[in-house]
């Protein structure tokens, strides 16, 4: 967002608002977002900086309700039943100062038969000691579809603690596709915890990508319960760690109903003194259900590496390209 | 005759207790398509990996000379930077690496036109494929063509093509043959590894490989006739015999008793 635009929108706001919004827009850009998209009249937008809602723009069929919390914001996001939101909804969360706490209590209610896509960017570009705690609840009602993509940018100091803890309920025939990506800058400490309940004929796809360096710590806990008949679930985890970074992936898939089909797919690449682990847990409580898992942990695939070396790349370039591709 | 850009001398490779390459000698000249014919298991792909310097394929003895320099101890990267590259028989899949980027990897400052031209040479539309990932979503034939495009784009001095026709649909085989000829016309030496004698027609020289060694080097048509008429029938009868006895039996049938016509010409 340009400064002129910010100043134009600042009319009637408290002093400092425009500067804070401009800083957030820069942070948003660093997280991979397009600040200009937040200005489009047909794009629903919610911008939260620390404990302030800096901008909120609704479009027909979507409603935001926000209340202040100590150190954060409580937000309810409703998509009306049967409505298809044509343009992706843009969410921007962040803390621009070096220190701070941001607690986001977010509830997403996607009405029956509705369809929406959310692009969330979480940016902490200057963080030295920042804690971002997302407590989310997502309800995808019968026949509804939600695609939720979340990208993080944490700056280069590793001073961020990020705790996305989300409970998801997908009702009959619903669809929930989510991608969480923390691949730019340092991770710091990440503790991702998703608990997903999947109803009859509903579908869940969860993709988690992270790249840890130096002393970063990555913890991913995903539990998908395929409770309804013919429910389908996929978790795909792509993590790379190098230096002294540590990643711990715990994925659980439960096949609890007839015809349920689940698959967990985890790839972790380890370089230097880093350490990675994956603990998949498969639970099947119905003799007509099936859950599978695959995991590859360790160095990069030799054949992939040699294919790139044969084009003249050196080993560091080739490994970096493979990792960047995997977490892209 | 132009000096060979690749000269392999008495190459031996032993892996997991088995002799894979045995006293192998081969010359490949600039601008020539040199077909290497051999049945499955004859050691063709192992030779390709040894030439490229792949892990586990360092020769036990012998020399690989490229442009007169012994490259046996060089890494894959160093060989590639000298202008050697390999199109794998079953190319690796890459999550998240777009086809266009992959094709341009071997180029310094790759530009879009070079990538488009290379994809066009293997009958792939850059608009359709350029931004797709070179991953599992490509069919075997598509991935194979992308591999060949990447080699073509690199304009290597020596292109080792391991079974470039496998997995390619019949209608596209003509495009692949044209691409191979084009590479040679542009000055690349092409070592074309195949077990299909039809591809020998693309070559200017052909060698027959059996039991890890070269039995014959010479005219592609002569090699093709021998390969179809003798090699295939030999497969059953020789499979269980000790190598030395089997090789002696094979050599009895070979024109010139296995000597390279080129070597004979050079000696003259």
**Shortest Cα distance, chain A CAs vs residue B245, angstroms:** 36
For an interface test with A, give the residue of B45, B56, B92, B136 to mutate (most A CBs within 10 A): B92
Residue B264 has pLDDT above 60, yes or no: no
Q: What is the pLDDT of residue B226?
A: 78
**Chain A contacts of B154, Cβ < 8 Å?**
311-312
Give the closest of B86, B92, B150 to A304, CB-based: B92
Q: What is the mean pLDDT of residues A87-92?
A: 94
Minimal Cα–Cα distance from A207 to chain B, Å? 13
| Interface contact flag, A308 B105, Cβ < 8 Å | yes
Q: In the predicted model, what is the mean pLDDT of residues A101-114?
A: 97
Window from A9-13, A286-290, B51-55, B207-211 with minimum mean pLDDT: A9-13
- Enumerate the residues of chain A whose CB falls inside 8 A of the CB of residue B150: 311
Name the residue of chain B whose CA is nearest to A305's CA: B92
Instruction: Kindly state the average pLDDT of the residues B5-20.
Output: 95
Predicted local distance difference test score (pLDDT) of residue B185: 93
pLDDT one-digit tens code per residue, B100-109: 999 999 988 8
Beta-carbon separation of A307 and B154 below 8 A: no
pLDDT of residue B238: 54
Give the confidence band of A6 by pLDDT, cuts at 50, 70, 90: very low
Tell me the average pLDDT across A3-26.
61
Tell me what pLDDT residue A20 has.
78
Q: What does DSSP say about strands A203-212 and A232-241: parallel, antiparallel, or unpaired? A: parallel
Specify whether the CB–CB gap between B209 and B42 falls below 8 A.
yes
Would you call A177 helix, strand, or coil by DSSP?
strand
Residue in chain B lying closest to A307 (CA): B92
Q: Tell me the ipTM for this assembly.
A: 0.90
pLDDT at A23 over 70: yes
pLDDT in tens, A213-224: 999 999 999 999
* Contacting residues of B for A306, CB less than 8 Å apart: 52, 54-55, 76
**Predicted local confidence at residue A314, as pLDDT:** 96
Percentage of residues in chain B having pLDDT higher than 70: 85
- What is the average pLDDT score of chain B? 87
Confidence at residue A8, expressed as pLDDT on a 0 to 100 scale? 41
The answer to whether residue A189 scores a pLDDT higher than 90 is: yes
Q: Which residue of B has its CA nearest to A324?
A: B96
Span A116-138, pLDDT tens digits: 999 999 999 899 999 999 999 99
Predicted local confidence at residue A11, as pLDDT: 45
pLDDT at A4 over 60: no
Mutate to test the interface with A, among B96, B109, B144, B156 (most CBs of A within 10 A): B96
Q: Does B55 have pLDDT greater than 60? A: yes
Could you tell me the pTM of the whole model?
0.83
Average pLDDT, stretch A206-212? 97
In this structure, of A276-285, B41-50, B55-64, B230-239, the range with the lowest mean pLDDT score is: B230-239
Q: How confident is the model at residue B211 (pLDDT cuts 50, 70, 90)?
A: confident
Q: Do B88 and A307 touch (CB under 8 A)?
A: yes
Please compute the mean of the pLDDT values over residues A220-237 and round it to a whole number.
Answer: 98
Q: What is the pLDDT of residue B1?
A: 60
Task: Examine the pLDDT at A1 and tell me if it is beyond 60.
Answer: no
Q: What's the confidence (pLDDT) of residue B195?
A: 82
**SS3 for chain B, per residue?**
CCCCCEEEEEEEEEECCEEEEEEEEEEECCCCEEEEEECCCCCHHHHHHHHHCCCCCCCCEEEEEECCEECCCCCHHHHHHHCEEEECCCCCCCCCCEHHHHHCCCCCCCCHHHHHHHHHHCCCCHHHHCCCECCCCCCHHHHHHHHHHHHHHHCCCEEEEECCCCCCCHHHHHHHHHHHHHHHHCCCEEEEEECCHHHHHHCCEEEEEECCEEEEEECHHHHHHHHHHHHHHHHHHHCCCCHHHHHHHHHHHCHHHHCCHHHHHHHC
Q: What is the mean pLDDT of chain A?
A: 92
Does residue A7 surpass a pLDDT of 70?
A: no
DSSP-based three-state secondary structure for A6: helix
Give the residue, B268 or B193, on which the prediction is more confident.
B193
Q: Is the pLDDT of residue A150 over 90?
A: yes
User: A327 versus A165: which is more confidently predicted?
Assistant: A165
Residues A128-167, buried b or exposed e (16+ Cβ, 10 A)? eebbbbbbbebbbbbbbbbbbbbbbbbbebbbbbbbbebe
CA distance A265 to chain B (A): 13
């Amino acid at each position: 967002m340009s400064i002129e635009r910010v100043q134009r929108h600042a009319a009637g706001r408290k002093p400092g608002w425009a500067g804070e919004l401009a800083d957030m827009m820069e942070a948003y850009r660093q997280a991979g977002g397009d600040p200009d998209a937040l200005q489009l009249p047909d794009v629903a937008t919610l911008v939260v900086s620390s404990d302030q809602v800096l901008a909120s723009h609704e479009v027909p069929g979507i409603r935001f309700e926000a209340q202040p919390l100590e150190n954060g914001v409580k937000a309810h996001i409703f998509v009306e039943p049967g409505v298809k939101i044509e343009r992706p909804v843009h969410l921007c969360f962040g803390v621009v100062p070096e220190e701070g706490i941001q607690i986001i209590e977010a509830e997403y209610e996607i009405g029956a038969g509705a369809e929406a896509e959310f692009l969330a960017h979480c940016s902490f570009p200057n963080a030295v000691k920042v804690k971002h705690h997302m407590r989310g609840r997502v309800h995808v009602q019968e026949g509804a579809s939600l695609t939720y993509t979340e990208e993080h940018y944490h700056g280069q100091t590793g001073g961020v603690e990020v705790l996305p803890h989300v409970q998801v309920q997908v009702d009959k025939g619903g669809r929930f596709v989510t991608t969480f990506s923390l691949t730019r800058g340092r991770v710091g400490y990440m503790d991702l915890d998703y608990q997903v309940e999947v109803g009859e004929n509903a579908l869940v796809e969860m993709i988690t990508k992270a790249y840890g360096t130096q002393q970063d710590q990555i913890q991913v806990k995903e539990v998908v319960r395929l409770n309804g008949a013919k429910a389908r679930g996929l978790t795909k985890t792509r993590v790379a760690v190098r230096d002294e970074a540590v990643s711990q992936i715990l994925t659980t898939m439960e096949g609890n109903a007839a015809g349920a089909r689940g698959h967990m797919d985890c790839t972790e690449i380890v370089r230097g003194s880093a350490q990675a682990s994956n603990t998949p847990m498969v639970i099947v409580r119905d003799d007509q259900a099936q859950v599978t898992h695959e995991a590859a942990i360790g160095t990069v695939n030799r054949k992939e590496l040699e294919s790139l070396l044969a084009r003249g790349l050196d080993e560091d370039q080739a490994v970096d390209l493979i990792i960047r591709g995997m977490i892209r | 005759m132009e000096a060979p850009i690749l000269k392999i001398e008495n190459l031996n490779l032993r892996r997991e207790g088995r002799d894979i390459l045995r006293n192998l000698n081969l010359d490949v000249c600039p601008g020539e398509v040199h077909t290497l014919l051999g049945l499955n298991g004859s050691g063709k792909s192992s030779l390709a990996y040894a030439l490229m310097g792949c892990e586990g394929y360092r020769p036990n003895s012998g020399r690989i000379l490229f442009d007169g320099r012994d490259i046996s101890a060089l890494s894959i990267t160093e060989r590639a930077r000298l202008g050697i590259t390999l199109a794998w028989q079953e190319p690796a899949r890459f999550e998240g690496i777009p086809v266009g980027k992959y094709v341009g990897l071997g180029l310094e400052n790759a530009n879009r036109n070079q990538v488009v031209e290379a994809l066009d040479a293997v009958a792939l539309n850059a608009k359709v494929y350029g931004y797709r990932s070179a991953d599992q979503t490509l069919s075997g034939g598509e991935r194979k063509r992308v591999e060949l495009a990447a080699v073509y784009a690199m304009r290597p001095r020596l292109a080792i093509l391991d079974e470039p026709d496998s997995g390619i649909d019949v209608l596209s085989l003509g495009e692949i043959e044209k691409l191979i000829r084009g590479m040679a016309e542009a000055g690349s030496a092409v070592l074309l590894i195949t077990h299909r004698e039809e591809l020998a027609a693309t070559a200017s020289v052909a060698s027959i490989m059996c039991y890890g060694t070269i039995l014959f080097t010479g005219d592609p048509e002569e090699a093709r006739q021998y390969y179809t008429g003798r090699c295939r029938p030999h497969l059953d009868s020789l499979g269980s015999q000790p190598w030395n006895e089997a090789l002696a039996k094979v050599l009895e049938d070979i024109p010139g008793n296995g000597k390279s016509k080129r070597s004979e010409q050079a000696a003259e």
